[in-house]
């Protein structure tokens, strides 16, 4: 699979589609999901063109990988849902069987309320 530069997250990164930004740095953009499934529902994406986690680990620089993971820790602390508070869930759907809808690596962060069972 090749990266589609017209996916919704690529358009958000280019500023063609607005987002309600939570956090941004040189490597990462995070924003509120437009169709939240929980009280807090944040999307975190790398700024590079990566299809999924496998592609990211294969192609991204060590700095990009580190900054992506560090940003998640920063975001959950900023939102006051870290493990020192009530906690949160991170999900990344990968591939067809994993339910991936947008072919740009992204994590969903859920929190602010009890998230429930993992799989129903």
Going by the DSSP 8-state scheme, the letter that residue 95 receives in this structure is H
106 belongs to the catalytic site? yes
Q: What is the pTM of this model?
A: 0.93
Contact call for residues 71 and 30 (beta carbons, < 8 A): yes
The one-digit pLDDT tens for each residue of the chain (120 residues) are 789 999 999 999 999 999 999 999 999 999 999 999 999 999 999 999 999 999 999 999 999 999 999 999 999 999 999 988 899 999 999 999 999 999 999 999 999 999 988 765
Catalytic residue among 97, 104, 106, 108: 106
Which residue pairs from 20-29 have beta carbons closer than 8 angstroms and sit at least 24 positions apart in sequence? Answer: 22/75, 22/78, 22/79, 23/71, 23/74, 23/75, 23/78, 25/67, 25/71, 26/67, 27/63, 27/64, 27/67, 27/68, 27/71, 28/67, 28/68, 28/71
Q: Domains, the chain, ranges and CATH? A: 8-111 (3.30.428.10)
């Amino acid at each position: 699979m090749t990266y589609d530069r017209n996916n919704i997250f690529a358009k958000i990164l280019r500023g063609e589609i607005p987002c309600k930004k939570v956090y941004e740095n040189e490597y990462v953009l995070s924003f509120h999901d437009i169709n939240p499934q929980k009280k807090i529902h944040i999307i975190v994406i790398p700024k590079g063109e990566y299809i999924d986690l496998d592609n990211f680990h294969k192609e991204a620089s060590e700095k990009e990988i580190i900054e992506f993971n560090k940003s998640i820790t920063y975001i959950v602390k900023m939102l006051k849902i870290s493990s020192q508070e009530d906690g949160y869930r991170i999900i990344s759907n990968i591939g067809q069987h994993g339910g991936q809808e947008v072919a740009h690596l992204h994590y969903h962060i859920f929190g602010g309320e009890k998230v429930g069972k993992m799989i129903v």
